[in-house]
Amino acid sequence: MAGSLRASRKRRARRGAVGLLAVAGIAAVVGAGGLSESADAAPVGTITEYPVPAGPNDITAGPDGNLWFTSLQNRVQRITRQGAITDFPLRPNPDTQGGDADAVGITAGPDDNLWFTKNLTREQDRIGRITPNGAVTEFPIPRPLADAKDIAAGPDGNVWFTEPFTNRIGRITPTGAVARFLLPNTPSNPFDCLDTGLVNRCPYPFRIVAGPDGNLWFTERFAQRIGRITPGGAITEFPIPGGKQDSSFGLGAPVGITAGPDNNLWFTRLGQVLPVDRGSPVPSGSIARITSGCPPPPAPTVCSGAAGAVTEYPIPPPNSNNPTDIAAGPDGNLWYVTASQAFDNGGPAFGERPGNNKVGRITPVGVITEFEIPTQFSQPQAITSGPAGDEHMWFTERQGKKIGRITAIDSSAAGVASAPAPLPGAPPANAVGRSSPGEVPVDTAREGQRLRPAARRAETRRRYRRRQSRLQRQQRRRNERPSNRARRPPEIR
């Protein structure tokens, strides 16, 4: 009898151990599958890189919970949050004269599909639509050599895109109907914009994004203005203080733009990216904010205020002169990427200057932190926040042929923070450490020490797992009692 009792206890102990292992295995799979993060999440600034077949251009979060990106060699690709990549090659270029085709911009559309721009050298550019299952439809833009670049979903249920060479903003409906709007101050001959002596006369619309005011906002790289277009096509332009309007790579040229958590628009401005001598100083690029006329949250979004006031925050040196793109993050901050600086006397990857290959973060009050990308000279091009529930930012590395992921939310942080003063000419009321009328002053020290949402969620998960383990142990102890064993059915003893 004693031997039988010991054997029964051993069998129950083995079953309990197997049950615990099964629970642990499910938790590991769920964490790896992206349904929940592990309790010991990586610190802010941790970068993971995933190799891809061709140099990636733009990237966006898709409606299917994955990331989608365009790349050289005429491709649209999908990457899961765990790094699994699916390739969707686009149809071959129909141009029989040997022109090249590249997919450039990409965005999630209002119809739960992905929309992208496609450049063709000697034929009409196209706007493409790809379903989450990979079915592709392409719509030609009426004019050749439009050089369609960026694309964004609009508040009107349509998709909007930029045409730099023709100085137009385009709109396409979900059924493929295209309308185009010419920017003011455009030369009668658009090919004048290809003449380096006349580029300051050309807007060259580059990046575009939906704003909090129900309009679309875009950067004008040559003219150094920020533009706004209503869903009906009415265009307003706001000049940017400073800058040098003599080339597309001139000092202060605006490039990337995004809607910020403060209901304003944030954009990147180049320093000097033309090749310079290895030892020459390089002007710093900057992150800038332009008011939309909307009040900051949580006030009702009644956008009746003044729009167009610009505040600039220079990126701290060394070599942070070429910020290319910017996006709002899940942590309430803005994240940007900076590409490498070139110099004219040789070096890897067309003489790129090291140290300018970074992902940066700027708070709504102007505190900047930067993180080095592990792959040198990787040429980061675009950045986006992940799908809902993801605590990372994702970015493309064109030269490095990789997709990067950086942790945006955690209880710890890496990097060296800097709170730069606004550039000369910026409105002092919006300077770092001050608050403009109607804004609530922010204590940045307390803000940095505040427990992040990810840490709270991780702690909740840890408490839940500890409680479940405690309940399982208590249940096993109760099952070991003789009185309980006598009442249990024979088949579960």
In a domain, 13, yes or no: no
Residue in this structure with the two tokens 């096509």, named with its chain if needed: 233
What φ, ψ does residue 252 adopt, rounded to 5°? Answer: 90, 5
What φ, ψ does residue 346 adopt, rounded to 5°? Answer: 90, 170
In a domain, 256, yes or no: yes
Higher pLDDT, 349 or 435: 349
Q: Is the pLDDT of residue 439 over 80?
A: no
User: What total of structural domains would you count in the chain?
Assistant: 1
Say how far apart CA 421 and CA 327 lie, in whole Å. Answer: 22
Lowest mean pLDDT among 51-55, 124-128, 410-414: 410-414
Q: Band of the pLDDT at 377, cuts 50, 70, 90? A: confident
The whole-chain average pLDDT of the chain stands at: 76
Q: Band of the pLDDT at 100, cuts 50, 70, 90? A: low
What is the domain range of residue 337? 53-453
In a domain, 38, yes or no: no
In a domain, 5, yes or no: no
CATH number at residue 343: 2.130.10.10
Higher pLDDT, 315 or 95: 315
pTM of the model: 0.74
Q: Is the pLDDT of residue 78 over 70?
A: yes
In a domain, 15, yes or no: no
Cβ burial, residue 73 (10 Å; 0-12/13-18/19+): middle
Report the helix count and the strand count for the chain, using DSSP H and E.
Answer: 5, 31
Choose from 149-163, 278-292, 329-343, 442-456 the range with maximum mean pLDDT.
149-163
Q: Band of the pLDDT at 372, cuts 50, 70, 90? A: very high
Choose from 102-106, 150-154, 301-305 the range with maximum mean pLDDT.
150-154
Q: What is the pLDDT of residue 99?
A: 52
Q: Is the pLDDT of residue 38 over 60?
A: no
For residues 298-307, average pLDDT: 86
Residue in this structure with the two tokens 């992150």, named with its chain if needed: 287
Q: Band of the pLDDT at 173, cuts 50, 70, 90? A: very high
Q: What is the pLDDT of residue 339?
A: 82
Q: Is the pLDDT of residue 355 over 60?
A: no
Q: What is the pLDDT of residue 346?
A: 37
Q: What is the pLDDT of residue 369?
A: 93
In a domain, 481, yes or no: no
In a domain, 478, yes or no: no
Q: What is the pLDDT of residue 301?
A: 76
Report whether 106 contacts 94 (CB < 8 A). no
Task: Give me the amino acid identity at 179.
Answer: A
Q: Is the pLDDT of residue 329 over 90?
A: yes
Q: Is the pLDDT of residue 152 over 80?
A: yes
User: For the segment 215-228, what is each residue's pLDDT rounded down to a tens digit?
Assistant: 999 999 888 899 99
β-pair partners for 79: 67, 85
In a domain, 417, yes or no: yes
Strand-by-strand arrangement of the 67-71 sheet: 56-61, 67-71, 75-79, 85-89
